[in-house]
Amino acid sequence: MTKLVSVKELTHFINGKAVAGTSGRFGDVYNPSTGEVIAKVPLATKEETQHAIATAQAAFPAWRDLSVARRAQIVLQFRNLLEENKEKLIDIICTESGKTVEDAKGEVTRGLESVDLAIGAPHLVKGEYSVNVGGGINAYSAKYPLGVVAAISPFNFPIMVPLAQTSMAVAVGNAVILKASEKVPMTALFVSELWKQAGLPDGIWTVVNGDKDAVNELLENPAVQAISFVGSTPVAKYIYETGAKYGKRVTALGGGKNNMVVMPDADLEQVASAFIGAAYGAASQRCMAISTLIAVGEDTAERIVAILKQKIDALKVGVYTNPETDFGPVISQQSKEQVLAAINRGEQEGAVVVCDGREAEITKKSNGFFLAPTLLDHVKPGMEIYEQEVFGPVRNVVRVNSLEEAITLINSHELANGVTIFTNDGLASRKFTTEIDVGMVGVNVPIPIPVGYYNFAGFKGSRFGEGHMFGPDQARFFTKTKTISERWLSPAENTGSTFAFPSNNS
């Protein structure tokens, strides 16, 4: 039986203050390291979500009309508060997600990159101006905020992804509603207080906690102009199709089945170390985690698997308070059971178990949701463990005979989030980066996630819609462009009637 310890009843954040839920429905928030329920999160009704949307809509005009420079100043103050409260943020992230301190620090740092980009919103929302395009007409374009926009974020990055989804949206003048994951709501609520301290007007930042009822209202309500989503591919597809049906601008990022191609000329010790961190960091609960190592050549495969086995067997799984811990638990007992089932099916389908996390003591006896690392070799296309994203510490080795075979294999998969190649051959690298059909590509980089001022998104089933999670495209996604043609006539001027375009007149 799960032990309840100091269970706190959480709230929503609406119109600049904490608001108790009224639905009577709550979700459990766990400490994944102990298996204990540490909080109850309210699950909003349709009516509560409608109220939050209406409040944001009422606050929007004044924020839109505020100068972009003043908005940027508030974002800068928010950024400073994030830095000042970094240790508190890290503690909350570790408590509700089970991440190690090092991993949480890295997440906060990457989140700050998105805020830094948003501070530069005045530059990113500049328009164009042309003088005398014809007939004494000047033409110019101007970017305007959309209005009320919503972000729906996942559990695996309690602060990085929400900041990436929302910072630019706030900076360019929108009112933002965040539907944080109900598994990790405490980080979002703490961030809400920082926005308040930074001077953001009430109603411009809202957190609505909830499940499908809240999500569907955000998707269907006509006041919500845009949706940014990050999560699994099936849900991303649903978000995109439903949002588009109701006329919204939608970017929905789904899952990834990310590959690391290892060429025979690569330094395999370096490759193995890179793979370990990229594959098992955060208990493999990253959409950019390396799922599969594709070894080119049997000799490459045999050597890299032997090195990996030694390194994986030495990994330490445990609580974040232990500085020697390499990674912590998965997010829930349900997730743990799903990962164990995936390992079992992989073995049944013919994969060879090199490192078996199922047999580790921490997997079997801990009250937390811990899973020791597993490595499967001789995995082949068609196996479930190869085809589907597994959000937990089981990784695969696939053996191929050539780089061409590796490229064909990767390009044939329905998910195309990230991919990387390890090689010292420039021609192989150029061939790979040119021919691979994946959104984010690395060369001797274990996790090819771009820095915050470059666009982030995959291809195919990893992204629905044309927006990106961060980068300059965020400014375009959260604004609409008006193009104005204007001419000022002198009192004596009489052009008479014309049936041609005015700009055609010199």
Residue 214 and residue 218: Cα distance in Å, rounded? 6
- pLDDT tens string 288-331: 999 999 999 999 999 999 999 999 999 999 999 999 999 999 99
Query: pLDDT tens digits, residue range 103-137?
Result: 999 999 999 999 999 999 999 999 899 999 988 89
Q: What is the per-residue pLDDT for 217?
A: 98
Strand segments (E) across 189-254 = 205-207, 224-230, 249-253
C-alpha to C-alpha distances, 295 to 265, 304, 375, 377, nearest whole angstrom: 11, 8, 14, 10
Q: Report angle CA 33, 233, 409 to the nearest 5 degrees.
A: 105
- 287 catalytic? Reply is yes
Rounded to an integer, the average pLDDT of 149-163 is: 96
Q: What is the pLDDT of residue 496?
A: 65
Q: Could you tell me if 164 and 74 are in contact, meaning their C-beta atoms sit under 8 angstroms apart?
A: no
Residue 308, SS3?
Answer: helix
Checking if the pLDDT of 210 tops 90, the result is: yes
- The residue with greater pLDDT, 466 or 372, is 372
Q: What percent of the chain has pLDDT over 90?
A: 87
Task: Return d(Cα 230, Cα 467) in angstroms, integer.
Answer: 12
Q: Which residues contact 347 (CB under 8 A, 6 or more apart)?
A: 353, 376
Residue type, 479: T
Q: Which of 43, 52, 239, 287 is catalytic?
A: 287
Task: Look at residues 280, 291, 158 and name the one whose alpha carbon lies nearest to residue 230.
Answer: 158
Q: Dump pLDDT digits (tens) for 46-62.
A: 999 999 999 999 999 99
Helix and strand totals (H; E) in the chain? 17, 23
Asked if the model's pLDDT at residue 468 lies above 90, the reply is no
| Mean local confidence (pLDDT), 403-414 | 97
**pLDDT of the residue at 467:** 81
The answer on pLDDT for 335 being more than 60 is: yes
User: What is the per-residue pLDDT for 471?
Assistant: 81
Confidence of residue 96 (pLDDT cuts 50, 70, 90): very high
Q: What is the mean pLDDT of residues 398-414?
A: 97
Quote the pLDDT of residue 489: 83
Closest CA to 448 of 431, 465, 464, 432: 432
d(CA 396, CA 418): 16
Residue 372 has pLDDT above 90, yes or no: yes
pLDDT in tens, 473-504: 889 999 999 999 999 887 766 666 666 666 66
Q: Give me the pLDDT at residue 493, please.
A: 67
Q: What is the pTM of this model?
A: 0.92
Domains of the chain: 44-254+462-483 (3.40.605.10), 258-443 (3.40.309.10)
Mean pLDDT over each residue of the chain, to the nearest integer? 94
With CA atoms as reference, report the closest residue to 438 among 170, 257, 235, 205: 257
